[in-house]
Amino acid sequence: MYKCGGEIPSLESERLRLRQMEIEDSKELFRYWSDAEVVRYMNMPPFASIEDACGMINLLNGLAESEDALRWGIELKESGKLIGSCGFNMWELAGAYRGEIGYDLGREFWGHGYMSETLRMVLPYGYETMGLNRIEALVDPRNRASKALLQAFGFQEEGLLRDYQKTEAGFVDLLMYSLLKREYGRAGTGDGGIG
């Protein structure tokens, strides 16, 4: 069973390393989180300053320490460059054994299969290490790339949650997707270069 203990574990694939985000990453993450195209479907306004990015890094690392969330920085192993973030926005073990994933990627890294490669690390970690039975994703209905990514891994669209989240522009609908542990790997592996 997962126990964070204040340390965010590193995960590695062929091209990527998932690791704890550090304050030194704030300049790079600010570039992504201030890009209106990157945050368009994240239901948050673009960041206005590097201090905003520092605050978010501290918040996310603090949530990991209290075991309320788990967010990794996505790093290119070859260069050490951070290209985005991903992880579990929340999870619940007692009685539910479910977690909700979220992810973002700098625009220049879209379309190279990095997010598929990331999910091939994050999903097994959720099922095998954290003990989850169900992994969920909430997706803006207009976000075609995210829907295609999830479907490539076998996530099922369960329905539309009307006016589910409040944003600066008002309430927005979100689609609920889920993948059960027993389904993981059956329907797809996320191959195809999406994300």
Tens of pLDDT along the chain (195 residues) come to 344 445 799 999 999 999 999 999 999 999 999 999 999 988 888 999 999 999 999 999 999 988 889 999 999 999 999 999 999 999 888 888 999 999 999 999 999 999 999 999 999 999 999 999 999 999 999 999 999 999 999 999 999 999 999 888 889 999 999 999 999 977 655 654 445
52 part of a folded domain: yes
Q: Is 102 left (phi over 0), alpha (psi -120 to 50) or beta?
A: beta
pTM of the model: 0.90
Does 17 fall in a domain?
A: yes
In a domain, 179, yes or no: no
CB 116 within 8 A of CB 152: yes
- Asked whether residue 5 is assigned to any structural domain, the reply reads no
- Dihedral-angle region of residue 159 (phi above 0 means left; psi in -120 to 50 means alpha; beta otherwise): left
Q: Print the domain residue range for 131.
A: 11-138
Residue 104 is assigned to a structural domain of this protein: yes
The domain tally of the chain equals 1
CATH number, domain containing residue 77: 3.40.630.30
